[in-house]
Amino acid sequence: MRIACLIVVCAALLACGPTPQPAPTDPTLEPASASTLPPSIAPVAARKDHALTAHGHTRNDPYYWLRDREDEEVLAYVRAENAFKDAALAHTAALQQTLFDEITGRIKQDDSSVPYLLDGSMFYKRFVQGGEYPIFARRPGDMQGAEQILVDGNARAEGKDYFAAQEPKLSSDGVIAAWAEDHVGRRIYTIFFRDLVTGELLPDRLDKVTGNMAWATDGKTLLYARQDGETLRSHQIYRHTLGTDPATDPLVFEETEDTFSAYVWRTKDKRFLVIGSFQTVSAEMRILDASTPDGDWAVFSPRERNHEYSIAHKGDHWYIRTNRDGATNFKLMRAPDGATDSWEEVIPHRPDTFLEEFDVFADHLVLTERSEGLPRLRVRRWDGSDDYYVPFADPTYAANVGTNPSLDSATLRFDYTSPTTPQSVFDYDMNTHVVELRKEQPVLGGFDKSHYTAERLWATASDGTAVPISLVYRADLGPKSGRPTVLYGYGSYGLSMDATFNSARLSLLDRGFVWAIAHIRGGEEMGRPWYDDGKLLKKKNTFTDFIACGEHLVDQGWADPERLYAMGGSAGGLLVGAVLNMAAELWDGAIAQVPFVDVITTMLDDTIPLTTSEYDEWGNPNDKEAYDYMLSYSPYDNVEARAYPALLVTSGLHDSQVQYWEPTKWVARLRARRTNDATLLLHTNMDAGHGGKSGRFARYHEVALEYAFLLDQAGLVVKGLK
């Protein structure tokens, strides 16, 4: 679901340690109304017994009532928690401002992306001084002509508390731009259209959609996806013709299986439209000639349980990434047009190499692979005369295929970053093997990458499995210096947490922190088996791996045993909650960002967004074995009468992925059951969703809040390296 130049801060400003909080309130007593409590006193949520029964087992959830975001009593409690958080961290207010100024001061305000060529125009986005949102624009292919603004995010966001816009998609003739906007943060979009000849907005407007869309060849037909109004599952594909009433748009496809979601796109060669239905362990594609958008769709390969595949088209063949026939780490096949059931092998399955993605060019095939936990980019001529890997030197890094919309190009654009290397864009000539750095993201404020060192370590999990760790620290501190350390993790959905650069993180590193990433099971860093060993009835491997990584950092002298901090968001917040229950004594504190912590109750409620589509990730608790296993680690259900480390929990009132009430209920239960008075804070963004505040700079207020919490908890009273 789920800086090199040091600035000394006045010691009096930061001398305060974590703010003591009152002893836990007796949960049997009725608390005062949250809205009447002074901000310096922790609010205590009212207990209202609510029985939840499944498989003959009954749980009492006294905070179930917090689920109604329209209830004023609920909102009063959430606001009281925000007020208490503000009061508890008031002594760090100046530090938060300093951190915010540092972080945003490293960002080049009048910046722009590297343009890419498509259909004779160069497309890019740029930012203006003081602007929070991107301006999407294009110029002629030689970049010498006048700029045409497609969407001005700053103008569109004016007067809105939240704003997010997707990059516009242009019709085949380049005349009409379509783009999607979200004004709440719940990922419910509206699609707008602009005539690029006149500059005028068209009256066509598609409300309550996902933002997923694809143009047909005719320049007037747009395929788009709608979501279920309650669960937000993307399940319907509609067809809109410009100039017609959207209310009459025909339904092209509906995904009726509630564990699948449906999306639409156009192939790179522009010849076909594709509707893809996806589930955790299965996929099914439908294809249609893009010149006949009202034609009949053909199923490419019927869905089968445990068969995942993706497709691309070039020339007279389809290319298929598939795990069929025991290809756990996937292989690449191809099939001729008109015979999509006749597959032949292009790249075989390899047990030690995970085929993550592929991209097709006229003369080359590009594969994104993983081996020993690191991504690799493999370039291969279709005739087999050249086959090689793009070289990377850092011990830990992230690399991926970038924006390559032109099939006929011999240039591969790829993105590269490491913990010491800012996000960089390269163009790689696949014929000559010459690489050109097009842009390294500027980092203002005197940044020097030589001031930082990245390492890659291996921890040993409780079952003997070797788990990789990436970390970065100030080079002048030296290795194994026993510094305060943040251990970040995720470990779900097969998403790999590669080691990337983050300019905001410099504010922690320059104050002496070590930043580490645990590449735990549940991701795909080590291939598909790494994912399979961290989900369903093996989910606890994710948590024990993370604990083993924390213990390794302490045992090997990297982390100060008294100042080790866990951090994760969404499903990574579930990870944080679980490891606090399993090994509370290991951590001095933790930050759980929009955490998925009420696992059982959420997964039993099929009206909540994402629930049914994630049965193959977490399990279906309607099955008793899955229920019992999920119940054994669900953070909310396993809060005990014990001491817990300091904790900052963040939430978004309009979150569509992890409902705000999960972190809210978790904090309420922790307040009632814990036996100590360590800092416990809940920060709820009342105007945003899963990703927090919108805006290029505004979102760093929340980062500054989190960093101030960590620095305060670690007792670092001066911005120095002691």
Instruction: Please tell me which residue in 394, 545, 588, 655 is annotated as part of the active site.
Output: 655
Query: Contact 509/545 with Cβ under 8 angstroms?
Result: no
**3-state secondary structure string, 434-450?**
CEEEEEECCCCCCCCHH
Residue 660 has which token pair?
A: 């705000």
CA distance from start to end of the chain: 39
Q: Which amino acid appears at position 540 of this protein?
A: K
Contacts of 444 (CB under 8 A, 6+ apart): 105, 106, 107, 108
Q: Are 676 and 80 in contact (CB under 8 A)?
A: no
- Other CB atoms within a 10 A radius of the CB of residue 717 amount to 18
Catalytic residue among 570, 613, 634, 694: 570
Structure tokens at 411: 């240039």
Residue 714 makes CB contacts below 8 A (sequence gap 6+) with 484, 513, 563, 565, 588
d(CA 204, CA 197): 16
Q: Which residues have a Cβ under 8 Å from the Cβ of 315 and sit 6 or more positions away?
A: none
Residue indicated by tokens 């497309």: 123
Local structure of 719: helix, strand or coil: coil
Residue 507, both tokens: 């504010």
**Running DSSP on this structure, what letter comes out for residue 248?**
G
Nearest to 62 by CA among 511, 558, 639, 480: 639
SS3 157: helix
- Report the C-alpha dihedral over residues 518, 519, 521, 523, rounded to 10 degrees: 130
Active site residue 240: no
> What are the angstrom distances between the C-alpha of 483 and each of 18, 716, 719?
18, 11, 14
Q: CB burial class (10 A; 0-12, 13-18, 19+) of residue 310?
A: middle
Output b/e per residue, 552-567; b: 16+ Cβ within 10 A: bbbeeebbbeebbbbb
Contact (CB, 8 A) for 27 and 672? yes
State how far the Cα of 315 lies from the Cα of 636, in Å rounded to an integer. Answer: 53
* Spatial distance between the Cα atoms of 486 and 473, rounded to a whole number of angstroms: 11
Amino acid identity of 710?
A: L
Q: Which two tokens stand for residue 485?
A: 């350390």
Q: Are 350 and 372 in contact (CB under 8 A)?
A: no
Neighbours of 405 (CB within 10 A): 13
Residues in the chain: 722
Number of DSSP helices (H) and strands (E) in the chain, helices first: 13, 39
Burial class from Cβ neighbours inside 10 Å (0-12, 13-18, 19+) for residue 488 reads: buried
Q: How crowded is residue 493: how many other Cβ atoms within 10 Å of its Cβ?
A: 18
- Tell me, what amino acid is at 483? R
Q: Which of 183, 235, 683, 690 is catalytic?
A: 690
For residue 154, give the DSSP letter: H
Cα–Cα distance measured from residue 63 to residue 661, given in angstroms and rounded to the nearest whole number = 9
570 catalytic residue (yes or no): yes
Does the annotation count 364 as an active-site position?
A: no
Catalytic site positions: 570, 655, 690
